[in-house]
Chain A
Amino acid sequence: MKGSSALLLALLPCLGACGKRQHGPPGPVMIRDITLPSTNVVEILSLSPLPSRPAQPTNQDADNPVAAQLGQELFFDTRFSANGEVSCATCHQPANEWTDGKALSVGLEQVKRNAPSLWNVAYQRWYFWDGRKDSLWSQALGPIEHPSEMGGSRLRAYRLIRDTPAYLKAYESVFGMLPALSGGTDVVDARPVPDNPQDAMHKAWVSFPALDRTAVDRVFSHIGNAIEAFQRQLISTDAPFDHFVAALRAGDADGMGKLSDAVLRGMKIFTGKGQCTLCHGGPNFTDNEFHNIGLNRGGRSLDQGRFPAIEQVRKDPFNGKGIHSDNPSMEANKSLHYVAPKDNNLGEFKTPSLRNVTGTGPYMHDGRFHSLREVVVFYSTLPDTPAVGHREESLQPLHLDAREIDDLVAFLKSLTGRPLEADLLKPPEP
């Protein structure tokens, strides 16, 4: 035993010898006649400020301005799509909080889920409602090839870079020389369609030499890298709530008093009996993980959410541990490395950030709620039998009265941040 404890000691820098950090809890705060107890204050402080965006080790150009500028062009370019009419901005509209205002998005045809806003996407751990992607660069490749969204292909995307002089120039300055293909010059669309080998795009894809396929995949992943760099700039912060927290930290009573009574009461519910911060916790108002909040099927086809997505992200050739990642190490991909499907993942969806939530409706993965009031009434009553799996047991009906519902909605409206620079809202000037 003694030998092994000495070994353990050697493993730990401060084993036992350093006392645990002690922070006194902050005291309660009174603003006009509203008291925020100490437990609420602790939660409130944990929600702001938003730190700077996290590093992105699997894309070394994630913060490269030239890549971001190229990504911005690509984001608004409809030529990726099969009909030449759909771009990322069709469903993620800058003037519409980076979403489309629809319950279910429409590209080439209607899709099965609601388009999430792109605010603060840089801060997330998983992408899509079910988290079947582990990076923004890998996520961007999905809609380009999705038959209902843009219906294009990686070959079409490659050709667009090759044949657009401005794109080629920017591409080569960031990623190096564009690899040439040995054949297939007359083919427009080619991509793997593993579940339908008879698909014309799949047949075209497998007819390419392996080296060409690798080259196209490489360029495709770089397109994702550039689009990621653009989207990392879509940051929502400096909301009235953040100003409140700054004033709270500074002990500035006047600053804190700028929020209305309704917002303050709503904040108290959000961080107290509403238990909203259990999941919508931390400065981006999300735990970046998945929960089953017990929504029913809503008259739609069954959506299993997180469970099947875990296998998908682990097998994805464009994940952070794959050959197109700029850092496939385990250290850089801990979340992917350790993720494993659990029974409770059935029917779970990602906790959305609530920053700028006022304008991002309709709400939920299928856009079933058209107003924030409807969302809050849902949490107040929890009327549904879950479509699949079990509702997380920490969620119990809150039985809020009409004023409390209004207060919680008023609080959510205090999370709208400073607008972006105008030049991020449109394709860059040539």
Chain B
Amino acid sequence: MVALILTPVGGCRVEPEPTLDSATTASGDYTVRYEFEPDPIPRNEHFVMHVLLSRKDGLEFAPGLSVVVDADMPAHGHGINTQPEVTMVSPGVYKVEGLLFHMGGQWELFVDVMEDGIPDRATIPIKM
């Protein structure tokens, strides 16, 4: 991973040991690596999330596996006012559009890996 990510893209300066942020699903089975565009996430503007999903055991993804994304503000009792759309770019690579954090404060972004309709959730805390 690291070697790949170090490849300079688009003429950007190479920082030492940069890596994608990551989270693990509740079962521990999946690693969710992610990147936001733009980064940092702008307040009250649409942003895109790119997700790179992998299995800890290195096996193939189950057929029919899908990814659902949602977000919440735990201290406010409400979530995001949009329905994010997830597109599979290739197996394990997803593009999430329609995300907008309208308030400052603590958000939780949920990436649900759905297998047979059962979600396995990775929770990503985000401070806006």
* Chain A contacts to B: CB under 8 angstroms: 1-9, 11-21, 277-279, 281-282, 287-291, 334-335, 337-340, 342, 344-345, 390, 392-394
Does B35 contact A16, Cβ atoms closer than 8 Å? yes
Neighbour of A393 across the interface among B13, B19, B40, B77, CB < 8 A = B77
Query: Taking CB as reference atom, which chain B residue is nearest A2?
Result: B4
Chain-A contact segment, one of B46-54, B108-116, B117-125: B46-54
Neighbour of A17 across the interface among B9, B37, B84, CB < 8 A = B9
Does B81 contact A289, Cβ atoms closer than 8 Å? yes
The 12 listed contacts between A and B (C-beta, < 8 Å) are A4-B52, A4-B90, A7-B93, A8-B93, A9-B9, A17-B15, A17-B18, A281-B43, A289-B102, A335-B100, A338-B98, A338-B100
Query: Taking CB as reference atom, which chain A residue is nearest B70?
Result: A342
Does A4 contact B92, Cβ atoms closer than 8 Å? yes
Neighbour of A8 across the interface among B15, B52, B79, B98, CB < 8 A = B52
Does B9 contact A14, Cβ atoms closer than 8 Å? yes
Does A17 contact B8, Cβ atoms closer than 8 Å? yes
- B62 on the A face (CB < 8 A): no
The answer for the CA separation of A173 and B98 in the assembled complex, in Å, is 38
With A278-B103, A279-B103, A338-B83 already in contact, the answer to whether A9 and B75 are too (CB < 8 A) is no
The answer for the CA separation of A245 and B52 in the assembled complex, in Å, is 42
Neighbour of A340 across the interface among B14, B50, B82, B102, CB < 8 A = B82
- What chain B residues lie within 8 Å of A287 (beta carbons)? 44, 102-103
Say how far B69's CB is from chain A's closest CB, in angstroms. Answer: 12
- What chain A residues lie within 8 Å of B103 (beta carbons)? 278-279, 281, 287, 289
Say how far A28's CB is from chain B's closest CB, in angstroms. Answer: 19
Neighbour of B81 across the interface among A4, A11, A342, A390, CB < 8 A = A342
With A338-B100, A344-B78, A392-B76 already in contact, the answer to whether A18 and B13 are too (CB < 8 A) is yes
Known: A7-B93, A338-B83. 6 other contacts (CB 8 A): A4-B92, A8-B50, A9-B5, A17-B18, A20-B40, A392-B77
- B65 on the A face (CB < 8 A): no
- What chain B residues lie within 8 Å of A277 (beta carbons)? 104
Query: Taking CB as reference atom, which chain B residue is nearest A17?
Result: B12
Does B78 contact A11, Cβ atoms closer than 8 Å? no
- B20 on the A face (CB < 8 A): yes
- What chain A residues lie within 8 Å of B26 (beta carbons)? none
* Chain B contacts to A: CB under 8 angstroms: 1, 4-10, 12-15, 18-20, 35, 37, 39-40, 43-44, 46, 50, 52, 54, 58, 73, 75-79, 81-85, 89-93, 95, 97-98, 100, 102-105
Neighbour of B20 across the interface among A15, A342, A394, CB < 8 A = A15
Does A17 contact B6, Cβ atoms closer than 8 Å? yes
Say how far A427's CB is from chain B's closest CB, in angstroms. Answer: 36
Does B81 contact A290, Cβ atoms closer than 8 Å? yes
Say how far B21's CB is from chain A's closest CB, in angstroms. Answer: 10
Does A6 contact B4, Cβ atoms closer than 8 Å? yes
The answer for the CA separation of A287 and B78 in the assembled complex, in Å, is 15
With A20-B40, A342-B79, A392-B77 already in contact, the answer to whether A4 and B9 are too (CB < 8 A) is no
Does B4 contact A392, Cβ atoms closer than 8 Å? no
- What chain A residues lie within 8 Å of B95 (beta carbons)? 11
Say how far A134's CB is from chain B's closest CB, in angstroms. Answer: 13
The answer for the CA separation of A278 and B20 in the assembled complex, in Å, is 29
The answer for the CA separation of A17 and B79 in the assembled complex, in Å, is 31
Query: Taking CB as reference atom, which chain B residue is nearest A281?
Result: B104
- What chain A residues lie within 8 Å of B102 (beta carbons)? 287-289
With A8-B52, A15-B9, A334-B46 already in contact, the answer to whether A394 and B82 are too (CB < 8 A) is no
With A11-B89, A18-B13, A334-B46 already in contact, the answer to whether A390 and B77 are too (CB < 8 A) is yes
Between B12, B89, B103, the greatest number of chain A beta carbons within 10 A of the residue's beta carbon is seen for B103
Say how far B68's CB is from chain A's closest CB, in angstroms. Answer: 13
Say how far A297's CB is from chain B's closest CB, in angstroms. Answer: 20
- What chain B residues lie within 8 Å of A2 (beta carbons)? 4
Say how far B59's CB is from chain A's closest CB, in angstroms. Answer: 11
Say how far B71's CB is from chain A's closest CB, in angstroms. Answer: 11
Does B52 contact A340, Cβ atoms closer than 8 Å? no
